[in-house]
Amino acid sequence: MKHIKIFDTTLRDGEQTPRVNLNAKEKLRIAKQLESLGVDVIEAGFAAASPGDFSAIQLIAENIKNSTVTSLARAVKSDIEVAAEAIKKATKPRIHTFIATSPVHREFKLKMTKEEILKSVDEMVRYAKSFVEDVEFSAEDAMRTEKEYLVEVYETAIKAGATTINIPDTVGYRTPDEMYETIKYLKDNIKGIENIDISVHCHNDLGLAVANSIAAVEAGATQIECTVNGIGERAGNTSLEEVVMILKTRKDLFEGYTTNIDTKQIYPASKLVSLLTGVTTQPNKAIVGANAFSHESGIHQHGVLANPETYEIMKPETVGRNVDSLVLGKLSGKHAFIDKLNNLGLSGFDDKKIEQLFAEFKNLADRKKYVLDDDIISLVSGDAAEVVKGRLSLEQFEISRKDSKTKAEINILLDGEKEVSASYGSGPVDASYKAINRILNDNFVLEEYKLESITGDTDAQAQVVVIIEKNGKRYIGRAQSTDIVEASIKAYINALNRLYQN
Ligand code: KIV
Ligand code: ZN
């Protein structure tokens, strides 16, 4: 058996996706889903990057029991100390330290010689090792580094105590053949490599991150670094769901290869990450996209009805989609609701949480004839009814339209005081936001407004994500409702409450 470790970096490299900004509670919610998914390692953040990152890592380290929890740290003493402090309470702590090694990084970024870098690798891996047993070392931009020098770098790290060496394609430059060659070369030439894990970390700039990670596994890599939905810097990272399903679906090629992933948790994890980051997946995204298991052409539909294997290489249920045909509605009872949660892989809630979710479900069922699987996943993942408590709350609103002009009248409570405002706008959302802006008279900027429907009917729930910016900081607000204006106003208020919390 060849066990491939799944190292998830959704909360670190994934959080480096432009505009993504998660708070500690949201990060913990994702970390718990990653634990249910069965990932071996959760990279919870970069502790030295900010106090917010530090406390989120600490919170995750205290709450996650089954997965290793790691923090990234540059190969400098102060970063390693902060990382060690943040993961101190983890059941399985790891420090992940890195330094760049390629000529362009050595000359222009670090201004260090090859020898100086080797010295730093030796000293900093030893330093990390003085805090924890489990130390991962990455040579940033490894795939554009001279192969012979890489051997020296990784041999130094292993001698200093690294238990995993990570070989990143930081700029997503390589092709699968090149990846295979390099990993094979390193495997054959680095002394001591047989006793440690060989990891790869691929970026997707040329759309090859998944193919490169798989080529690396074929060459002997034992750990894949990846993110849910493939989110991450620039074009993103290797997509977790794709590599896992390649290894599972192509058993003929990967006989004996295993991962710890409970694939039924893939779809709920994908939904949760989309919801909390505001980064939705394209419809044709493999495994988790809206169309990944839809069959449009008549010939295909006919084939699938006769035998799903005609056009489906995986069963949607295997990745937690279309788990049963039971559609819930307002007459559904708590048992049916709990059954549905279990079938969707969304179990493990205490009685109080079930009561709260059931009440939210009933609320939704009052407004929507059929409550579909995606509604339930999104209700559970996003705590749809959650209102970000703060200075503002919505009392009521009214939209009217006359002579092609749309007017919004809004009543809100601001610091407990009732405020009434009205404004015209190019549409109901624009008018409502302008009415709120009149009350606040503040200089934040609305950077992004996104509205999507969770399911396809006219009574579908709208999911709105709003990002506002002030003084270089971004605040995200989300809300869901069957009424698109209500969802829009609540998302705006949630973002504003986050702004005023800080
Ligand atoms: O892309 C990269 O090289 C990284 C390292 C810090 C592992 O994210
Ligand atoms: Zn990266």
pLDDT by position in tens, the chain (length 502) = 899 999 999 999 999 887 788 889 889 999 999 999 999 999 999 999 999 999 999 999 999 999 999 999 999 999 999 999 999 999 999 999 999 999 999 999 999 999 999 999 999 999 999 999 999 999 999 999 999 999 999 999 999 999 999 999 999 999 999 999 999 999 999 999 999 999 999 999 999 999 999 999 999 999 999 999 999 999 999 999 999 999 999 999 999 999 999 999 999 999 899 888 888 899 899 999 988 988 777 777 777 788 888 888 999 999 998 766 678 888 889 998 998 888 777 777 889 989 999 999 998 899 888 888 888 888 887 654 456 788 999 999 999 999 889 999 999 999 999 999 999 999 999 999 999 999 999 999 999 899 988 877 788 888 898 989 998 888 888 888 899 999 999 999 999 998 998 6
Distance, in Å, from the CA atom of 229 to the CA atom of 267, rounded to the nearest integer, reads 10
CB of 29 closer than 6 A to ligand 1? no
Query: Does residue 201 have a known ligand-binding role?
Result: yes
Determine if ligand 1 sits within 6 Å of the CB of residue 96. no
13 is in an annotated binding site: yes
In the sheet that holds 417-425, the strands lie side by side as 392-402, 405-414, 417-425
Ligand 1 nearest-atom number relative to CA 203 = 1
Domain tally, the chain: 4
In this structure, the answer to whether residues 338 and 212 fall within a common structural domain is no
**Cβ–Cβ under 8 Å, residues 75 and 120:** yes
443 and 412 in a common domain: yes
Rounded to the nearest whole angstrom, what is the distance from the C-alpha of residue 273 to the centroid of ligand 2?
18
Two tokens, residue 439: 């009350």
CB 238 within 8 A of CB 175: no
**Domain hosting residue 354, numbered range:** 325-381
Helix axes 351-367, 334-343, angle to 10 degrees: 100
Please tell me the number of the ligand nearest to residue 142's CA. Answer: 1
Ligand 2 centre and the CA of 96: distance in Å?
12
Please check whether residues 87 and 209 belong to one and the same domain.
Answer: yes
What is the pTM for the complete model shown? 0.87
460 in the same domain as 353:
no
* Residues 113 and 196 reside in one and the same domain: yes
Which SS3 state, helix, strand or coil, does residue 180 take?
helix
User: What residue's CA is closest to ligand 1, atom 5?
Assistant: 140
Q: Which of 13, 43, 105 to mutate to test the pocket of ligand 1 (most atoms within 8 A of CB)?
A: 13
Give yes or no: residues 271 and 302 share one domain. no
CATH number of the structural domain spanning residue 398 = 3.30.160.270
CA of 329 to the centre of ligand 2 (A): 44
Do 36 and 122 lie in one domain? The reply is yes
Residue reference for tokens 């500690």: 24
**Number of CB atoms found within 10 A of residue 163's CB:** 18
Report whether 105 belongs to an annotated binding site.
no
User: Residue 322's closest CA among 340, 334, 310?
Assistant: 340
